[in-house]
Amino acid sequence: MADPIAEAAAKHPAPEGVVYTYGTAGFRTKAQVLDSVMTRCGLIAALRSRLHKGKWIGVMITASHNPPEDNGVKLVEPLGNMLQEEWEVLSTTIANKPSPEDVSKYYQEIASKFSIDLSSPARVVVGRDTRASGPRLLDCVLDGLKAAGAEIKDCGFMTTPQLHYIVRSLNTEGTPHAYGTPTEQGYYEKFGAAFKAALRGKKPSGSLTVDCANGVGGPKLRELIKYLPPKEEGLEIHVVNENVIKPESLNVDCGADFVKTNQRAPPSSKVGPNDRCCSLDGDADRVVFYFKDSNNSFHLLDGDRIATLVASFLGDLVRQAGLADSITIGVVQTAYANGAATQYVEKTLKLKVDCTPTGVKYLHHAAEMLSIGVYFEANGHGTVIFSQDTLDSIAKHEPSSPGQKEALAVLVAVINLINQAVGDALSDMLLVEVVLAHKNWGPQEWLGTYTDLPNRLSKVVVDDRRKFQATDAERRLVKPEGIQKKIDEEVAKVRQGRSFARASGTEDAVRVYAEAATRTEADDLARKVSELVKTFGGPGAA
């Protein structure tokens, strides 16, 4: 009897000598070695859906901010969140099975381990970004899904957050917690209406220039603009770097990662002094803002800045609506957050700060533990999560004055404007514009909330990154023995010093972060800690 699982795996054999790992961003590498992985991810998605009693699971084909020749795939859980960790391991194992028979056998093993009925319904939604390899890799995913007998909804080109939105909306349709209409148009309608309601007649000053990284965010932003208030009443948006006809230009000299890494505007930027700009990444799930001042100096307003701006505004709304007694707001950061941002949240905004290891899944999980959890990585990926209790409190709250009523209306609109399923560059961009409009701020006022401590990020190549083991949300090393004491000694020599070293998740390297009161001290500290890493991580070191 024919085995459709083995047949699908045989159609897309695994290349020799490639080892795959499902990381924070799913599988991501050169597109030409991903065919076998895509087919097997289709099998995993079908199993995951059956385990969830036929709920929709998402498969997104994207490599986000990576160069055009790369691609990748990540799976999306029923509420739009990222794949559960145990299933990351299963995905990694099946991706590395050598033969079609091994793949089929492991597929059966997973089904039996979790008591999955393979004749029950499986439903999977698939989306992809604009990379040239997308159509081929989509076919590989579809082969896996068909072999597993899944019902398929192919959404074509989408931003990653749009796919997350559709998965969550499909699975909550018809329930008291319905998220939205499960179509692309439903996405535009929901966020367009929420933006208009959140502005409450206030108009953002000036215009916003949006660099779309020559990725899928360009055409999707063009579509979203049709659902926003006309520019006379709302926000005037200039769309740049939107060439999706030439996939080889994706993320090249533009996009959020370019701006964050190089600390400068894309070379294509033609804006004037104090004009607000932002850059999306290739799949539009992260955004950073920036501007040039009247002296032509570049200023970056990254994820830390977005988190502090949004947390401060939500804090104001919760107080003004008379909800401060029942709702607490917290900000979740990683060790890479600038120390000045942490201090501003704790001392000025008087809000709680939690620190987690690097990686969106850790931030998201910690934010879910709070009444209102604001999280943004410094790279611009983040969102705000409202607990069900918080949403219920807000829905039941009876305002006792016109001021409370107004604040409550804005708060409700802002909740609808935030994509709680995942960090969403388009939704976050509109959220920032709402806050600036309400505060009547331009980029200078936003920048003026606190002064970033000078910092330096370095990479040290080592023989074996596993020698470096960290604790305390990756802020302190427990191995190699003795290194942390030496780092502490160097930190103590500079003013406002802070430094940590952590093993890279993707390569044999250790990333060193250092900050201090002056640029010279920060650079010097980074150099000295990097030297310690070389000494302790070299050949023969324990």
The DSSP line for 497-512 is -EEEEEE-SSSSEEEE
Architecture of domain 455-537: 2-Layer Sandwich (3.30)
Per-residue pLDDT of 95-144, as tens digits, reads 999 999 999 999 999 999 999 999 999 999 999 999 999 999 999 999 99
pLDDT (tens digit per residue) in 250-291:
999 999 999 988 888 999 888 888 999 999 999 999 999 999
For residue 283, say whether it is annotated as part of any ligand binding site: yes
Domains 4-157 and 186-300 share a fold: yes
Distance, in Å, from the CA atom of 427 to the CA atom of 430, rounded to the nearest integer, reads 5
Q: According to the CATH classification, is domain 186-300 in 3.40.120.10?
A: yes
**pLDDT at residue 81, rounded to an integer:** 87
Q: How far apart are CA 217 and CA 239, in angstroms?
A: 10
For residue 383, which of 191, 155, 125 has the smallest C-alpha distance? 191
pLDDT at 443: 94
Q: What is the mean pLDDT of residues 310-339?
A: 94
pLDDT, tens digit, for every residue of 131-184? Answer: 999 999 999 999 999 999 999 999 999 999 999 999 999 999 999 889 999 999
Flag whether 378 is marked binding: yes
Which has the minimum average pLDDT: 24-28, 379-383, 444-448? 24-28
Q: What's the whole-number average pLDDT of the chain? A: 94
The string of pLDDT tens digits covering residues 46-88 is: 999 999 999 999 999 999 988 899 999 999 999 998 899 999 9
Residues 6+ apart with CB under 8 A from 179: 80, 165, 168, 169, 172, 421
Active-site residue set: 64
Say what the pLDDT of residue 1 is. 56
Domain assignments of the chain as residue spans, ordered by start: 4-157, 186-300, 303-447, 455-537
8 A C-beta contact, residue 238 and residue 118:
no
26 annotated as a binding-site residue:
no
505 is in an annotated binding site: yes
CATH topology of domain 303-447: Alpha-D-Glucose-1,6-Bisphosphate; Chain A, domain 3 (3.40.120)
Helix (H, G, I), strand (E, B) or coil at 10: helix
Q: List, in order, residues 6 or more apart from 281 with CB less than 8 Å away.
A: 64, 65, 213, 215, 217, 251, 255, 256, 257, 287, 380, 425
Report whether 304 belongs to an annotated binding site: no
Candidate CATH numbers 3.40.120.10, 3.40.50.170, 1.10.10.10, 3.40.50.10860; the one for domain 4-157: 3.40.120.10
> Does 511 carry a binding-site annotation?
yes
pLDDT at 540: 46
